[in-house]
């Protein structure tokens, strides 16, 4: 089966992120969960964002790169919101990536150079999420998948950010089930 590296969102490595990883593990995949916040979790997005700003986004991305250095190269890189940054960077720059799963975030497609040939990518987010849709991530995702050989953008009805974490108030069980099913299809193709 496939190895997946899943980078958490701005709340940290929460039980909800672990539960999402467990869905992929139940399908027979191995999921690695690097802790970009070194054991810290935050009850609000604002507190987590303040911590991320204090540490520095480039340092957080570097923590992701260092964590990936200890793993095989042929993995699927996945990230949720803040975790999209290291996931996308590694998928675009590390040889032999098996794919990218970008949840609730996407950086401009040229951020790390051209999208690598043969690396599939899926981007998932809510259509009216004020962070994903209104701050440009959805537009970036649409541009990115045009460049990829195998790229898809999926939007879900709603305006919630971080809808895939069952421990947060905005959790959407139906949309998360669709995310997992679609991701497993992509992973199964490669």
* Backbone phi and psi for residue 121, each to the nearest 5 degrees, phi listed first: -145, 140
pLDDT at 111: 84
Q: How far apart are CA 88 and CA 106, in angstroms?
A: 8
Highest mean pLDDT of the ranges 15-24, 63-72, 90-99: 15-24
Distances (CA, A) of 12 to 9, 36, 37, 73: 6, 7, 6, 24
**Strand-pair partners of 146:** none
Please state the domain extents for the chain.
3-189
Q: Considering the domain 3-189 in this protein, what is its CATH number?
A: 3.40.50.1820
pTM exceeding the 0.85 threshold for the entire prediction: yes
Q: How far apart are CA 173 and CA 65, in angstroms?
A: 30
118-144: per-residue pLDDT in tens?
A: 999 999 999 999 999 999 999 999 999
Task: Report the percentage of the chain scoring pLDDT > 90.
Answer: 90
pLDDT at 189: 84
Query: Where residue 172 falls among pLDDT bands split at 50, 70, 90?
Result: very high
pLDDT at 118: 93
């Amino acid at each position: 089966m496939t190895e997946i590296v899943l980078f958490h969102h701005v709340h940290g490595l929460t039980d909800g992120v672990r539960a999402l990883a467990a869905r992929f593990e139940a399908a027979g995949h191995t999921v690695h969960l690097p802790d970009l916040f070194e054991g810290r979790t935050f009850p609000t997005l604002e507190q987590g964002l303040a911590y991320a700003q204090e540490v520095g986004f480039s340092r957080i991305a570097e923590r992701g790169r260092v964590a990936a250095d200890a793993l095989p190269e042929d993995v699927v890189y996945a990230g949720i919101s803040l975790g999209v940054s290291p996931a996308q960077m590694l998928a675009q720059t590390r040889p032999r990536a098996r794919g990218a799963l970008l949840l609730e975030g996407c950086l401009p497609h040229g951020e790390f150079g051209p999208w690598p040939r043969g690396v599939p990518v899926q981007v998932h987010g809510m259509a009216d999420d004020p962070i994903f849709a209104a701050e440009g991530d959805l537009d970036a995702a649409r541009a990115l998948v045009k460049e990829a050989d195998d790229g898809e953008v999926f939007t879900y009805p709603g305006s919630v950010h971080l809808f895939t974490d069952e421990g947060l108030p905005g959790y959407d069980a139906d949309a998360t089930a669709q995310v997992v099913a679609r991701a497993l299809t992509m992973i199964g193709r490669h």
